[in-house]
Structure 1
Amino acid sequence: MGSHIGPAMPPPKKAAAATASSSTSSNQFFAVVGTDEARVKEAAMRIVQRITPPEAGDFGNEIVEGQADNAEHAGQICGNVIMALQTLPFFGGGKVVWLKGANFLGDNQTGKAAASVQGFENILDVLESNLPPDIKFVLSTSSIDKRRTSFKRLSKIASMEVHDKPDTSKAGWEEAVMHHALNKARELGLSFESGALELLVQMAGDDTRQMENEIEKIDLYLGERRRCGLNTVRGMVSMSRAGVVWEIGNAIGARDLQRALELLGVLMYQGQNAIGILLAAIVPKVRNLLIVKELTSRNKVNTMSYNGFSSSLEALPSSATSHLPRKKDGTGFNVYPLFMAVAEARKFTLDELHDGLSACLAANAKLVTTQLDTKVVMERLLVGLLAPRTRKA
């Protein structure tokens, strides 16, 4: 806790809580939550800078670090927050109290402890007790249990921002990350060739901090040049864990069994969940290969360029495209993963891809319902997908 101590305010009166919440929810109390730690921290910092009284200087805010070692420590942190809220700045005027990076509000051992639960409830009691309007509070946390009564109380009195990482196991997750990457690129005056930004998103995955670092690295590399191509992305961007998951899909598309097995070994060694790998990397790739194989065999589609492919899909009748994956907002097709699969699909027959999708379903059932070694299940799946049919016979 900070060292700026002033005259203590009188203890809170809980009877006034009901009338205080509605008038303070938009401009006095703020909560920034979500699994994307980098964006949560940055958003909270912007709020603190914006609401800190300009004339207060260093005495205008008090930061309470929220990283608790255990439940007892969490209780002490909550006590420090309450003391900061009830202590006026030494020179008078307003102040901002920031509970920064609290790690004791989630569904974990420390978060479930009575000291943590009651400690945060006590903070909420103070916030609901008609604090002077120039005393402001900011909470930032990457883990908060939304099922608790305390979260509902917080939601009623605080202006809340949520910054969650996208779920890479669901189709269309790239869109949210791409929007963030595009905004960062525009800030630096960068543009991307067709497909280059999509490739960067796939390689960096859902880690927005790494995403920003990679774009800044590209910015320095390009110098006066302001347009980034595919080769630059491939040569400059480091692959995240999500990127490794995506690379398994590339290995499947290339029908490179050895590479796929190597990447699987890396992820399993890192402790990645086998079902997550199956649903995030293997199933989407096999499904896209099958969609493209059937699409190009039954319809006339321009596969020579990304733009041509995209235009061809839009020109097809709805009966031929109703099953294609779409963007979250429903404005168009999720074209990039399909276009990437065009050349790859030529390495497989339709029968192989139909069998492959069925094999994925069978592997998922084994992972969920049996005690078989998960790595063995996944390795057998990859061998069945990628080994030549003559070799399997």
Structure 2
Amino acid sequence: MFRALVRMSENAAKRLKTESGVRIGTHNGHFHADEALAVYMLRQLPTYAGASLVRTRDPAQLAECHTVVDVGGEYDASRNRYDHHQRTFDTTFPGRPTKLSSAGLVYLHFGRALVAQELGQPEDSEDVGMLWNKVYESFVEAMDAHDNGISSVDPDALKAAGLEKRFSSGGFTLGAMVSRLNPAWNDPMPADPAEAQAAEDARFESASARIGEEFSRGLNFYTKAWLPARAIVKAAYDKRLEYDSEGRIMVLDAQSVPWKEHLYALEEQDAAAAGVEGDDSKGKILYVLYREKPVPDAKWRIQAVPVTDTSFQSRKALPEPWRGARDEELDKVAGVSPGGVFVHMSGFIGGHKTFEGAMEMAVKACAF
């Protein structure tokens, strides 16, 4: 397999000499997640389709490249130079605090085109703009932070609070995954410099394809699933007063969709329009009802809205006396129509065999 990888990289080098296609340049040596992702993203666009790759630190070779990422000490989008290692570099994505890496730089300039291509919409459309921001915050920003040595939590604040990690993260990050694709210190390498570089380049190509697959999966999810869910959540949000005069209950009629982020965004929009500030839960959704499956006789779930998208704390958990109860016991303790299924011990979710029963649970929980 090793020789096959070398031959593949050598064939790419031969094509480079005979074709006039676009060349992307980046540094050789130990590779990282940011330039692996930057190269992948570029290659998804028509201009760079089939682009060859030059991995070197030689300024003369880099000067011949159409685009250079993560090397060269220059950030100049007009010349397709996207390095971030200069002392004076402090560029961030609009509205975000994290300094960009080569991945963030490429996404900053080409991300709209990637999203537009996936959606089949113009780059200046509202949906493209929304997803351009969403994909950066949910995926690319972590690459930027990792490469620039920025922790997701302020280490000084953690230390002051006396908090320590309970266990190792075990390398469960995309950055760690890419790092593991680098050769180990004691891996055998060809004595010939050209063959050694070809082997290293083949490893980089594997890393770029691997992290690129994760990026494409994320982009596909946000364009094909997350965005369409927004319209469904918006329709349910607009009908909330039909079920509760204070608008505390939202019903997803057809089936469950990713709703949390959309719900928070809609509430923030309403609060901003009304000039309301702070975290007051008044007027916010407390419970969301949805079918377990998109079939007519499906059971219904009632879920308490969490304080944040990643929080285990609910705005208002289901009543404590209901927690852990099931079936007839739940019907009795909750005082609802027969058909109760369960309420989780933490009170964040429960179930009923019918919509009417789930709605009874929601109404009673609001008043509890």
Q: TM-score range by the shorter chain?
A: under 0.3
Normalising by structure 1, what TM-score? 0.26
Higher helix proportion (structure 1 or 2): 1
Normalising by structure 2, what TM-score? 0.28
Higher relative CO (CA 8 A, sep ≥ 6), structure 1 or 2?
A: 1
